[in-house]
Structure 1
Amino acid sequence: MEVVLEMTLPRNAESAPLVRHTLDASLRGLGVGSEIRADIALALGEACANVIQHAANGKDYEVRARMDGVRCVVEVIDGGPADGASVNGVEDEWGSANVAPLSEHGRGIQLMRAFTEELQIADRVHRDGAIVHFEKSLAG
């Protein structure tokens, strides 16, 4: 069975828990174990938090997820560059650069890389914004 979720969410703090819970319920329904669901929820939370905090354009953002029992593929799509920065600026903001051990910010990419596979951050083609794409094997 394949499950596809597509959500358009307001860029506010209340939207991130909603999308995490919705995706988690779908994964649970497919019989995915709690550890894998937690990894996906953490990565999704980081991606959503970055859009909510830093996307300069747009009132909304999109989350698309596809689960086929073997793999979960997630894309978080924002409406503009982070604070006017390029995608490389987004990566630097999220923590691909060195981050102080006790820093409160800047670990998003590091966490997403640690808990998922196939992490990519790219500019949207022919539109402002960026796409955060990650995948996670559902075999555990």
Structure 2
Amino acid sequence: MSIWWSLHLRREAASVPLARRLLVGAMDAAGVDPDISFDLSLALTEACANAVEHGGDAATDDYRVTAFIDGVKCRIEVIDAGPGFTDDNPSARLRGARASVRAEGGRGLYLIETLADHVDIHNRPGRGAVVSFDKMLKWREGALLAAS
């Protein structure tokens, strides 16, 4: 068994906790280890906050969050309609995020990279940016979706 969901959310701050709560609820119901759940919910919060802040020109622009949980890993993708990242090299963006870790803002990509096992960040020319990440799952004993 697996869990898959996709949300189209308005670029408003109130959408961020909605996406986070849905993810945490699904992971809790499935039996994901709470530490893994916390890491993924924090990474999702950062990706959604980036989409809300940078993902378009108008507050009515939407962004999309998709999550897939199975017996091995959780994969999350956040897609916005903004201008995309200015540097087409995701590694350089992440190095820049590491360099500015003490700055007031700009730590989101660094946190996502730190919390996830794999991160992919790229632009969709003329259509926004995609931040996707995944993490291997650990399960509580007797978990509903645990790998056999």
Q: Aligned partners of 1:17 and 1:63: how far apart in 2?
A: 12
Query: What is the number of residues matched between the two proteins?
Result: 136
Unaligned runs of 5+ in 2: 140-148
Q: Which residue of 2 aligns with 1:121?
A: 121
* TM-score normalised by length of structure 2: 0.81
Q: Relative contact order, CA 8 A, sep 6+: which one is greater?
A: 2
Query: Percent sequence identity over matched residues?
Result: 37
Q: Which residue of 1 aligns with 2:40?
A: 40
**Structure 1 runs of 4+ off > 6 angstroms?**
none
Matches within 5 A, 1:67-106: 67-82=69-84, 85-86=85-86, 88=88, 92=93, 95-96=96-97, 98-99=99-100, 101=102, 103-106=103-106
Computing the radius of gyration from Cα coordinates, the structure with the larger value is: 2
- Tell me if 1:134 matches 2:133: yes
Unaligned runs of 5+ in 1: none
Q: Aligned partners of 2:82 and 2:74: how far apart in 1?
A: 25
Secondary structure of the residue aligned to 1:42 is: helix
Q: What value does the CA root-mean-square deviation take over the aligned residues?
A: 2.4
Q: Which residue of 1 aligns with 2:66?
A: 64
Q: Deviations over 1:10-57 (max 9, x none)?
A: 000000000000011111111001110000011000000011011234
Report the CA distance shift for 1:39/1:64 in structure 2 as closer, same or farther (over 3 A): same
Q: Which residue of 2 aligns with 1:19?
A: 19
- Tell me if 1:9 matches 2:12: no
* TM-score normalised by length of structure 1: 0.86
